[in-house]
Amino acid sequence: MAAPGWAPPRLDDFILTERLGSGTYATVYKAYRKKNSREVVAIKCVNKKTLNKVSVENLLTEIEILKQIRHPHIVELKDFQWDRENIYLIMEFCAGGDLSRFIRSKRMLPENVTRIFLQQLACALQFLHERNISHLDLKPQNILLSSLDMPHLKLADFGFAQHMSPWDEQQVLKGSPLYMAPEMVCSRQYDSSVDLWSVGVILYEALFGRPPFASKSFSELEEKIRSNRPIEIPGRPQLSPDCRDLVQRLLVRDPLQRISFPEFFTHPFVDLEHMPSSDSLERAASLVTEAVQKDPTDPETALSLYCKALEYFVPALHYETDARRKEAIRKKVNQYISRAEELKVVVSSNNRALLQQGHSGRDILKEMAKDKPRLYAALDVASAAVAKEEAGADDAETLDLYQQSLGELLLMLAAEPVGRRRELLHVEIKTLMGRAEYLKKQMKMKVSRLKAEAMDEEPMTQSVQSSCSLQ
């Protein structure tokens, strides 16, 4: 609440209470609407006397951008007013505070929670990117949480945001140094990809509890950012390969080598396609309907559809808040996992028969390839992959062997003249591609099953917030 002797500004339709925070030219208050709903809002108060030309431009930009956009992961501007002393931005109230405070309270966030937050941030950035809007000041302090029990990210503070075209050449320094891209710190031309660097810094801080360039002074920070030394990713906590890859590709100093927006939005760790949303359950149910139809006559296609459905059921469980509906979804998921396991036995049996049939063709091809050592070696690798699969070896290792052999065999096929050997080689490549795709599906199914089983073990009342507590 307000300190003694201090009072917030007065606004006709609202009661302003505690101060939530303050910045260079604005102070934000919690407030209540006087009439009807007693709606809680946040009011950003800007004292006109503090405004210079740049801050006026920033404020007008913020109002202009927020007025035209509505998105579940961007703070809503409900209205704006002014009087002789102040300009007031009436904003959506976010009870969970900002992401910086949240990370500090937990010391660091588990990867699975970080991923959900990253998906929400990426969803907001995709919406802005489609409209050629760049934020230019992404940092945990400008990312708010809707609440503390079921937190959803809300991107805020668009004071530095602007519409950007690919040909824009920006020279004005904007943003916060700790999260600022090297091309901005070095006063070089920059474009919207500076936001991707900032996402990398935020992701790093969430996972490890500190930003990659934590420094005691601006000069030390500037030196670290300007350095050409690769950014080291700590060994603990251990990250998944996809998570580590994304951090490394975001934190690339050269903007031309940094991951692009399309690559970021489709990266396996971001995976916006499977982000928990209101559509997740509907998509899962649609795939299950197809799977049930295929089940009696085409077990391999049915298995594939059940696996794809599981990839949507897991985010649907994350998204659902009603305990009864969540329990009903879990029961269905367990049924589909059981059926998928039964189909896997049937499909595996059929595939073993196909593998045996493929041996003779491969043996003939190897006899015909004795005069081509490179082709013979690639077929040897393929035989090793098949042997590993038949022995039930690790899927990842087997898949790697299949991919190695295919890489070589496709080159051989391009150089092979028309004839019987080319025909056999073409058949072999198709067979090996089928095996590789089958293994990929198996690996995806395992991951989905483990995620679903992990969620099945959680208490029904457990929310994302409780998931955030350190293990």
Tokens for 57, please give them. 């431009």
Rounded distance, CA 239 to CA 207, Å? Answer: 9
In this structure, are residues 203 and 247 in contact, taking their beta carbons and an 8 Å threshold?
yes
In this structure, are residues 197 and 258 in contact, taking their beta carbons and an 8 Å threshold?
yes
CB-CB neighbours of 148 under 10 Å: 14
State the catalytic residues. Answer: 137
Closest CA to 307 of 111, 450, 460, 112: 450
Q: Cα separations (Å) of 361 from 317, 350, 406, 420?
A: 47, 18, 16, 12
Residue 460 CA to its chain's centroid (Å): 25
The H or E element containing residue 198 is helix 194-208
Tell whether residue 44 is among the known ligand binding residues. yes
In this structure, are residues 45 and 9 in contact, taking their beta carbons and an 8 Å threshold?
yes
In this structure, are residues 277 and 128 in contact, taking their beta carbons and an 8 Å threshold?
no
* Amino acid, res. 264: F
Closest CA to 42 of 2, 6, 78: 78
List, as residue ranges, the binding site for ATP. 44
